[in-house]
Amino acid sequence: MNLEEYVSKDATELASLVAGGEVTAPQLLELARRRAYDVDGKLNSIVARTDSAADDAAQTFGRGPFAGVPFLLKDLAQEYKGYPTSYGSRSLADDIATENSLITQRFLDAGLVVFGKTNTPELGAKGVTESDYWGPARNPWNLHRTPGGSSGGSGAAVAAGIVPAAGANDGGGSIRIPAACNGLVGLKLSRGLSPYGPQTGEIMFGMVSQGVVSRTVRDSAALYDAIVGPDPSAGYLAQFPTERFVDAIRTRPTGLRIGWSTSSTVNPSPHPEAVAAVEHAAALLEELGHHVEEVPQPYDDWALSRDFLTIWFAQVYAQVAEIKARTGAKNSDFEADTLAVAEYGRHTGFVAPVAALENTKVYTQSLAAFHRKFDFLLTPTLATPPLRIGAASTPPMMQRAARAAGVLRAGRIMDLTGILDDVVQNNLGWVPYTQLANVTGRPAISVPVHWTSDGLPLGVQFVGHLGSDGALLRLAAQIEEAAPWIHRFPATATPV
């Protein structure tokens, strides 16, 4: 197999070739490394290598469904024994994992050969991947644009053909945003289906989901089959799917009821390309025989964004405090934005996040009411095309003020300035649609059905009812069959 052939194939086909003896795992690993050598100097998608473990794994990869296929973990909440998991932060640069996380172990049990870890923003706290520690990851479709976040390194690596799929996780859109930015498939599972631990329990009260980004629906289906299952450290017993995802996508749905909306009070004027993406998807769905209609926004997204960020800020405060206590990290080991967010989370105390958590039932009930009439909610995944690198960066003067606020415990002053509303507008304005699924625990998938006039991917999102993960993948497979995208490839990621 040559490099061009390797890049053109998805993980399912590569695994089949290994199983049939047409190519070996060490040969695939060498091709993945060559591809990374060719393109990642421009992308900065891989921030750590696990070469010794990968060489061993390529020789003893077992018989899992993806035996011998090269793979990358996200450098956040996907711990790999013997290697650090930095979470994109200097504060965790030397935090060596003493055991595999459960999600990593399931990837390894599936036969995947992990040879590195991908770039992520500090603590996964942004929708772009531009940490001070690792530097910005870049979008292979346009090197001046972001690949999204917080799984942006994984998205860039998959889109560029380094690997056919990569580890990701999603606490507010961090699988779906990179999928939309890079022309990939990105499913966020129903709450409770993906494993956490043993290093941590569910993050953000179950709002964070483990998973992957991939180039094809069948890869996502099979990879989720490999990772979904009982978690011995879970606090409750989830109801797992009775049908394998790879079996679910073998049939095509008929007569679905799909309500679509591009409305957002967070971003009242989404980019025309984002609107065009949804309109394009709606027209395609009608051609496929589904009932599609425009609907009013079924929830208050401004209120949801405020509640989401209140919970998020409290999470960041707790996380920074835990890292400091466990590792001895100092304020200088964190970014200014992180310190400011942590200080605001400290200032709000426990009443505000508890009230925000209580409010989540309102959004859950609103979405449940919507799903009594419709199977899926269709929205843009992004309100704008992928941002330019640096567009979401805090100006240097504001960074100095943010760092001072963290040191001086100026949370009350920050509160009086209306910072929460500013953060909603400035950070969620381009991604106002994705937090709904995390807050309500519902599954959602981003599918690459649209490219802008200047060649950038711009996915659309489907949000389903609780437990409709297989149905979402089935619909995505139907869309993929009707409007395939695997033949699309970013020119800027071609070998040099």
Look at phi and psi of residue 308 and say left if phi exceeds 0, alpha if psi is from -120 to 50, else beta. Answer: alpha
Considering 91, 101, 151, 174, which one is annotated as catalytic? 174
CB burial readout 227-255, b (16+ within 10 A) else e: bbeebeebeeebeebeeebbebbeeebee
Considering 89, 91, 101, 150, which one is annotated as catalytic? 150
Whether 150 is a known active-site residue: answer yes
- The set of residues, in sequence order, having a beta carbon less than 8 Å from that of 72 and lying 6+ positions away, is 46, 114, 115, 116, 117, 118, 153, 154, 157, 162, 163, 166, 167
Dihedral of CA atoms 176, 178, 184, 185 in degrees, nearest 10, equals: -20
- The set of residues, in sequence order, having a beta carbon less than 8 Å from that of 354 and lying 6+ positions away, is none
User: What are the φ/ψ torsions at residue 47 (nearest 5 degrees)?
Assistant: -115, -10
Place of tokens 């793979």: 71
Burial class (CB in 10 A: 0-12, 13-18, 19+), 22: exposed
Whether 42 is a known active-site residue: answer no
Whether 190 is a known active-site residue: answer no
**Catalytic residue list:** 74, 150, 174
